[in-house]
Amino acid sequence: MALHERDYMQQGSGRSPLREQSVTVKIIIATSIIFALQLFVNPPTDNSPGFFIEYLSLNANPELTVNAIALCATQLLTNIFIHADVYHIFFNLFALFIFGKIVEEYLPGKNFLILYLVSGILGSIGWFLLNIGEMSPLLGASGAVFGVITATMLMLPDRQVLLFFVFPIRIRNLVGILILINFVLMIVNFFGPPASGNSIAYIAHLGGVVGAYIVMKFKHREKIVFDPLGFLFKVTPQKRKVRYSPGYENPGLAFVEEEKNDAGESFEDDDDPMLKIDPILDKIGKHGMKSLSSEERRILEAAKEKLNDDS
């Protein structure tokens, strides 16, 4: 992202309040609007599931026609925004709000949206493949939300959250427990007797985990701190040297260390603030403006002035 495109380098841009919102908030707003339409525009009845559930949730038993297959393909995405009831949407969007804000600090804008949608779609595909012929549809953002939680674990494994608002637990342990529970219940549902009234799509949750891992591994691997499958999927190490910022507890927050010659001098021109701006921008993205030292703020202002002079 270019320097002049960063939010904190722009003032008085005149953007609408909605455009200023994070992608997490925009997803929550869009999903809530669709749910409101579900309730008040052609709502479900005893004889009909309603337009939204009938056509936007994922049907695992489509007719073998071009139109039906095309509709089913679009439902891999649209079902993410459909929910069964108030409890369903509340818990999904609550978890998205909590973890989405954290992940967006590291994957802002379209990067977060890609993570969310890919996780949801991979969850949908996994559910579809194991439920071909089933009459009950798939709906809900659970797979996408599991992907966001997984991305949090990969980047901030030691961040603590309150389980049931009471018990502190590390995110890596929380995700490990969630994966284990969903895997066991998926196996029980798949090989055991049919469970009446159990509509939880455990495979969609696990598919969201896989989707998030794929996105992080192949698009944002430099941000991964904890990689439980790293021994299986090795990647080429980054060329840039990285040192960890003193004074911060999280080991995943790092900035680039400049290459120096034998005399300890930087290869770069110390007088050009543009050559020093990248690690400062990375630090802002991870810690916020308040984390900058006075010297870093001076370099940032100098870079801004230079950018204005050049434009």
Domain housing 101: 21-223
251 — pLDDT class (breaks 50, 70, 90): very low
232 vs 236: CA distance, rounded Å: 13
Averaged pLDDT, 161-188: 89
One domain for residues 90 and 57: yes
Q: How confident is the model at residue 293, as a pLDDT?
A: 74
**Would you say residue 45 has pLDDT above 80?**
no
**Would you say residue 207 has pLDDT above 90?**
yes
pLDDT, tens digit, 9 for 90 and up, residues 12-43: 445 566 667 889 999 999 999 999 998 888 77
Claim: this prediction has a pTM higher than 0.85: no
Q: Which of 13-17, 52-56, 77-81, 100-104 is predicted with the least confidence, judged by mean pLDDT?
A: 13-17
Q: Which of 114-123, 147-156, 275-284 is predicted with the least confidence, judged by mean pLDDT?
A: 275-284
pLDDT, tens digit, 9 for 90 and up, residues 220-249: 988 899 888 876 666 554 444 444 444 434
Q: How confident is the model at residue 246, as a pLDDT?
A: 43
Q: How confident is the model at residue 254, as a pLDDT?
A: 39
Based on DSSP, count helices (H) and strands (E) in the chain, helices before strands: 10, 4
94 vs 91: CA distance, rounded Å: 5
- The answer to whether position 47 is within a domain reads yes
- The answer to whether position 229 is within a domain reads no
Give CA angle at 254 (249, 257), nearest 5°: 135
One domain for residues 164 and 211: yes
* CATH, residue 147: 1.20.1540.10
10 — pLDDT class (breaks 50, 70, 90): low
Averaged pLDDT, 202-216: 94
One domain for residues 250 and 219: no
Percentage above 90 pLDDT, the chain: 36
- Of 188, 223, 258, the last residue of a domain is 223
- The answer to whether position 213 is within a domain reads yes
C-alpha distances in Å from residue 169, one per residue of 181, 182, 286: 16, 18, 22
One domain for residues 82 and 196: yes
- Of 223, 254, 289, the last residue of a domain is 223
129 vs 170: CA distance, rounded Å: 33
* In contact, 124 and 136? CB cutoff 8 Å: no
In the chain, how many domains are there?
Answer: 2
Q: How confident is the model at residue 125, as a pLDDT?
A: 93
* In contact, 6 and 13? CB cutoff 8 Å: no
* Average of per-residue pLDDT values in the chain: 78
The residues, any chain, with a CB within 8 Å of residue 96's CB and separated by 6 or more, are 24, 27, 28, 141, 144, 145, 148
82 — pLDDT class (breaks 50, 70, 90): very high
Q: How confident is the model at residue 192, as a pLDDT?
A: 67
- Of 193, 223, 253, the last residue of a domain is 223
- The answer to whether position 199 is within a domain reads yes
One domain for residues 43 and 171: yes
One domain for residues 108 and 167: yes
Q: How confident is the model at residue 272, as a pLDDT?
A: 59
- The answer to whether position 62 is within a domain reads yes
One domain for residues 178 and 250: no
One domain for residues 158 and 262: no
Q: How confident is the model at residue 238, as a pLDDT?
A: 47
Exposure on the CB side of residue 266, measured as CA atoms within 13 A: 10
Residue in the structure block whose two tokens are 């993410």: 80
Averaged pLDDT, 118-130: 93
**In terms of pLDDT, which residue wins out, 190 or 56?**
56
- The answer to whether position 285 is within a domain reads yes
**Would you say residue 277 has pLDDT above 70?**
yes
DSSP run (H or E) holding 242: strand 242-244
One domain for residues 293 and 257: yes
Amino acid residing at 181: I
The sign of the dihedral angle between the CA atoms of 297, 299, 302, 303 is: negative
Q: How confident is the model at residue 36, as a pLDDT?
A: 93
122 — pLDDT class (breaks 50, 70, 90): very high
One domain for residues 134 and 197: yes
Q: Which of 152-161, 261-270, 276-285 is predicted with the least confidence, judged by mean pLDDT?
A: 261-270
Q: How confident is the model at residue 253, as a pLDDT?
A: 40
Q: How confident is the model at residue 263, as a pLDDT?
A: 43
Averaged pLDDT, 57-84: 86
